[in-house]
Structure 1
Amino acid sequence: MNRKVFISVLGTGFYSSCSYVKGDFISSETRFVQQATMEYVDVAHWGVDDAVFILLTDGSRKNNWDMEITSRKNFRTNEVESYKSLQAVLKEMNLPCLVHDISIPDGKNEEEMWQIFTKLFDVLDSGDELYFDLTHSFRYLPMLILVFGNYAKFLKDTTVKHISYGNYEARDLLMNQAPIIDLLPLVALQEWTFAAANFKNFGKMGDLTTSIVSVTNRWSIATKQERRVKESIINLKNNINEFEKRIVTCRGRELLKGDAVNAVKQHIDMALDSSFPQPIKEILRSLKDGIMQFSNESVDNLRYAINWCIKYNMVQQAYTLGQESIITILCEKMKAVNPFAPTEEKEFRSYIAAILGINVKYVNDEKEWNITLTRHRLLSRAFFSLEWVKQLRKPYGKMTANRNQINHAGFLGTVSATLIIKQLQETIEACFSILDQSLEMPTVPKMGEKLLINLSNHPYALWEQKQRDAAEVYGECVDLPFPNIEPSYDETEIERLAKEYFDKIQKMRGDRRLTVHVMGEFTFSCSLIEKLRKNGIKCIASCAERQVEIVDNSIKQVVFNFERFREYGCK
């Protein structure tokens, strides 16, 4: 359990007796507001590990603390009166926790101000719950205590539970009762200010909603409207937390949907119509202005999310959302030429990414294309011919490179952090300025004739009629003699030869739909077929029935009767 700590500054003046009141609470009649305040916060029922700290200047120790004090002259009447010191009063209260007197300077200059600050800070433990009485604080000490409370909150994880002022001058003369003024809202205002600064500088809204929820927790719910507002504030906090998590983790689909951020706007509107303090309402209006552009189910939400990340220096999130949003927008704009099935959304995204991400030196070198581009070769050629694709590729390439630099923690390059940050907005603006245009659609020419390449040691001219008939579905057949594979070849030589034949086949292909008939040495065939299939080229083998005949009782004659073609691998 956290330690409770009461802190008060004792003054030098002559204090007259009265009772202090707060709501239904009425204190004992006392000269010292410290006694009344400790009764109000129930120090009598604190634990032995809790503490009371009374801060004393030399003057206050002499005039109001020391046990030797038994009388003092009342400066109003000039008469000497019986006078019991605060130390004596606290001793009579028989508190369960220790009371510590802390000597402090008068605070006449900056050096003494920091001495007071240090003495206060040094007596606190981590996690302390602080109860302040500011009644007798002099000069700047009330302001110092307010600032000190937040300072200790950050460095020692303390919490200000109570802060008050006994207003003797405002007492009811007939009842001789003075009000205890709750100053905790001033602490809340500081918290709201810090939270607003966090939002303004870093886009962090969570601290703000936590502070607002703490306000509603102090409400005594009397009406249905107050109950609805309190529930709405809790939902506001939850929706803000959800929105922030989606930004931080780059949840593009959810950000595009916009449900969380639009719920935030609705809950803010309800809070603005409530009895919240005006400072909170001003902060909430500022928050709403910051998210006003977001709407329901709009691809524009992606751009707003990117701008949010740029504004609040969330560089990694901005690069990730930027690159993926560009692909998303292009998939939507180019859906009329989407060659993939409805269930292949991921494949279309990969295809668009490949169109934008290919190295410019490989655009016209189709043997360097990946399988995604090769699978739809004619469409890829059409995309590469478009002027907007050529313009978009450069800033998109920078964006990709910088995103990779971030994701690989800078271990795979030497790009400076300054340059990555500098190029963020430049590349985003360059890309979206192109996407905002009316983009020309790629025009895909009609597919050319089919072509069958016969890579084997059995020329097409020697095929039996049944095999020729079966081959007609693959188009014109062109022979490519199978290479001579020496037994001495190692894996490196096989791989080199397979790449050589892959390049030959690509050149023979042209615009025709290609099938390759591969029959020959296994290791070479395996390597070549793998390359061909990765590039979307169908590979087939001949399947035949083997018949053995014995001629003249000694000669074995093997005959293969063609039955069908079978495709390598799974569809």
Structure 2
Amino acid sequence: MAKTLLTTLGTGDYTETTYFFGEQRADKTCYVAKALCQLFEIDRIILLLTEEARAKHWGRLQESLPPQVEKVAKAIPEGKTEAETWEIFDVLVDGIEPNSRLLFDITHAFRSIPLLVLLGAALLRKAKNVEIQGLYYGLYRPGQAETPIIDLTPAIRLLDWLTASDKFISTGSAVELGQLLDTVQRDFYRQQRPGKGDPRPTRLQSFGQAIRDISRSLELVRPVSLQEDLRKLQRHSTQELAEEVGQFAKPFGLLLQSIQNSYSQLALPAEKAADPQAQVQKHFQLLRWYVEKRFTTQALLLAREWVVSALCLCEGIQNYLEREARQGIEHQLGSLIPREEQLLGDLPATGSLIQHQEQLQSLPPIAAHVPDVQQLAKLWSRLSEYRNDVAHVQMKPKSLRSEVLESFVLQDLLPKLEALFPELTRTEGELEGDPSNSR
């Protein structure tokens, strides 16, 4: 794929200078586009210019460029109105072929064009799979024989940080942030050979992997694996990491503490890592986290299993992951559903007190652990129905509307669980502040 330079020209009287980039120097010229073609071996140049700029410079620039370079001029308005600004943006974006290798030059850009170039570059990367190989600016100063070309490419990566940061804040996913940290460290060693004693990134990659692992466990509802991932995060969260971030991944520094705080609330303290009750309480905190992030599917999946885990503990079953134990609890819960409309106040008018007492006596053992067995039956019925509805992805004649599922998760789920299992749904802080828990 041809390497393309997108540049602009105004109507100024440009002065000859020798442009240089690093150790490379171009021939003396008044057009930075010519220097960039020489320094970066450009195959195609796209020039954005107004009619006035075209009349003044286009002919001279064409003559100065190597004959093998394909030259394309695109007319743009002056950008005096919002409509003209969007017209410039359209010309910029529409002129680039998908999968191109692209360099931007904003040396002679005017008004809003530098901003449009930056935003256009970000859009092209995603929408057309364009590889942005550089964003450059010729720092010309009158009276100087040589002019440095400044690499502004990191500004484009700043947009990547912005996108990844927004995703973390809105969804809690740090996958993209982790990938950026990995890229920063890899690029450093790919592009530089640090000398002995020079600072170098050594922790960004491993920390990025740690937050990616956490994000995957969260996305795929792996509460057991999540604890192991969180312990890794704690091991990586050191002062040395913070210093390294400040030097090599400065945009991430604004989020480092936020990420550590957001994820650490889901972690079990080391002294309680083997405590089944603490584990189940922490799983409820994870459920609360899903609800806050509006992760309806994950919340439904976890909530259904959490009820089983909670009742296992209530029954004195410490190994709440054991299959037979869970199946026994599920069988008891299932036995509640057919009688849901008859229990505790919902008896038919013809029902007698004796019938009521017989039904209470026939309840399964788990009924003794909740303040309202009817509510437990109703909740289990809905959780089973909603979880199955999500799992079958509408591959059946009738299915629930998305609004019904979301409304249940966001409004009803947590309050109902808190009412049924008050001891297992309180946070560590709430439990510590409860006088009834003092010993």
Establish whether residue 9 from structure 1 lines up as the match of residue 8 from structure 2. yes
Q: 1:13 to 1:238 in 2, by over 3 A?
A: same
Q: 1:344 to 1:141 in 2, by over 3 A?
A: closer
Which residue of the other structure, out of 370, 373, 396, is the alignment partner of 2:380?
Answer: 396
**Residue in 2 aligned with 1:176?**
145
Instruction: For 2:39 and 2:252, locate their aligned partners in 1 and report how far apart those are by CA, in whole Å.
Output: 28
**Residue in 1 aligned with 2:407?**
422
Does the 8 A contact of 1:55 with 1:104 survive in 2? yes
Establish whether residue 316 from structure 1 lines up as the match of residue 293 from structure 2. no
Tell me by how many angstroms 1:295 deviates. Answer: 1.9
Does the 8 A contact of 1:212 with 1:233 survive in 2? yes
Could you report, residue by residue, the CA deviation over 1:50-87 in whole angstroms, capped at 9, with x for unpaired residues?
42211121111111121xxxxxxxxxxxxxxxxxx211
For 1:262, the aligned partner's letter is R
Does the 8 A contact of 2:5 with 2:102 survive in 1? yes
**Residue in 1 aligned with 2:122?**
150
Tell me by how many angstroms 1:348 deviates. Answer: 0.4
Q: Which runs of 5 or more residues in structure 1 are unaligned?
A: 44-49, 67-84, 366-377, 440-571
What aligned pairs does 1:499-510 form with structure 2 within 5 A after superposition?
A: none
State the SS of the aligned residue for 1:335: coil
Tell me by how many angstroms 1:282 deviates. Answer: 0.2
Could you report, residue by residue, the CA deviation over 1:433-488 in whole angstroms, capped at 9, with x for unpaired residues?
4323289xxxxxxxxxxxxxxxxxxxxxxxxxxxxxxxxxxxxxxxxxxxxxxxxx
Establish whether residue 283 from structure 1 lines up as the match of residue 252 from structure 2. no
Could you report, residue by residue, the CA deviation over 1:391-448 in whole angstroms, capped at 9, with x for unpaired residues?
4333333222221222233436453321211111422332144323289xxxxxxxxx
Tell me by how many angstroms 1:146 deviates. Answer: 0.6
Does the 8 A contact of 1:271 with 1:281 survive in 2? no
Which residue of the other structure, out of 214, 225, 233, is the alignment partner of 1:254?
Answer: 225
State the SS of the aligned residue for 1:388: coil
**Residue in 1 aligned with 2:315?**
334
Q: 1:126 to 1:13 in 2, by over 3 A?
A: same
Instruction: For 2:402 and 2:93, locate their aligned partners in 1 and report how far apart those are by CA, in whole Å.
Output: 38
What aligned pairs does 1:236-251 form with structure 2 within 5 A after superposition?
A: 236-251=207-222
Instruction: For 1:119 and 1:428, locate their aligned partners in 2 and report how far apart those are by CA, in whole Å.
Output: 52
Tell me by how many angstroms 1:349 deviates. Answer: 0.5
Tell me by how many angstroms 1:204 deviates. Answer: 2.7
Q: 1:119 to 1:328 in 2, by over 3 A?
A: same
Does the 8 A contact of 1:398 with 1:427 survive in 2? no
Does the 8 A contact of 1:396 with 1:431 survive in 2? no
**Residue in 2 aligned with 1:36?**
35
For 1:242, the aligned partner's letter is D
**Residue in 2 aligned with 1:272?**
242
- Please identify the structure whose Cα radius of gyration is greater: 1
Percent identity of the aligned residues? Answer: 22
Establish whether residue 189 from structure 1 lines up as the match of residue 158 from structure 2. yes
State the SS of the aligned residue for 1:398: helix
Instruction: For 2:237 and 2:52, locate their aligned partners in 1 and report how far apart those are by CA, in whole Å.
Output: 52
**Residue in 2 aligned with 1:436?**
422
State the SS of the aligned residue for 1:437: coil
Tell me by how many angstroms 1:383 deviates. Answer: 2.9
Tell me by how many angstroms 1:224 deviates. Answer: 7.3
Q: Which runs of 5 or more residues in structure 2 are unaligned?
A: 344-360, 426-439
Could you report, residue by residue, the CA deviation over 1:243-271 in whole angstroms, capped at 9, with x for unpaired residues?
2222232223313xx12133235445443
Does the 8 A contact of 1:7 with 1:54 survive in 2? yes
State the SS of the aligned residue for 1:273: helix
Q: 1:194 to 1:420 in 2, by over 3 A?
A: same
For 2:14, the aligned partner's letter is Y
Q: 1:436 to 1:101 in 2, by over 3 A?
A: same
Q: 1:264 to 1:385 in 2, by over 3 A?
A: closer
Q: 1:4 to 1:307 in 2, by over 3 A?
A: farther
Tell me by how many angstroms 1:7 deviates. Answer: 0.4
Could you report, residue by residue, the CA deviation over 1:194-240 in whole angstroms, capped at 9, with x for unpaired residues?
1111112233322222223333333235367855x34x322233333
Please, what TM-score do these two structures have when normalized by structure 2?
A: 0.79
Establish whether residue 293 from structure 1 lines up as the match of residue 276 from structure 2. no
Instruction: For 2:222 and 2:70, locate their aligned partners in 1 and report how far apart those are by CA, in whole Å.
Output: 54
Larger relative contact order (Cα-Cα within 8 Å, sequence gap ≥ 6): 2
For 2:88, the aligned partner's letter is I
Which is richer in helix?
2
RMSD value, Cα: 3.0
Does the 8 A contact of 2:50 with 2:77 survive in 1? yes
For 1:23, the aligned partner's letter is G
Could you report, residue by residue, the CA deviation over 1:110-133 in whole angstroms, capped at 9, with x for unpaired residues?
222222222222222222222000
Which residue of the other structure, out of 63, 81, 100, is the alignment partner of 1:128?
Answer: 100
**Residue in 1 aligned with 2:346?**
none
Aligned residues: 388
Which is richer in strand?
1
Establish whether residue 210 from structure 1 lines up as the match of residue 179 from structure 2. yes
Please, what TM-score do these two structures have when normalized by structure 1?
A: 0.62
Establish whether residue 56 from structure 1 lines up as the match of residue 27 from structure 2. no
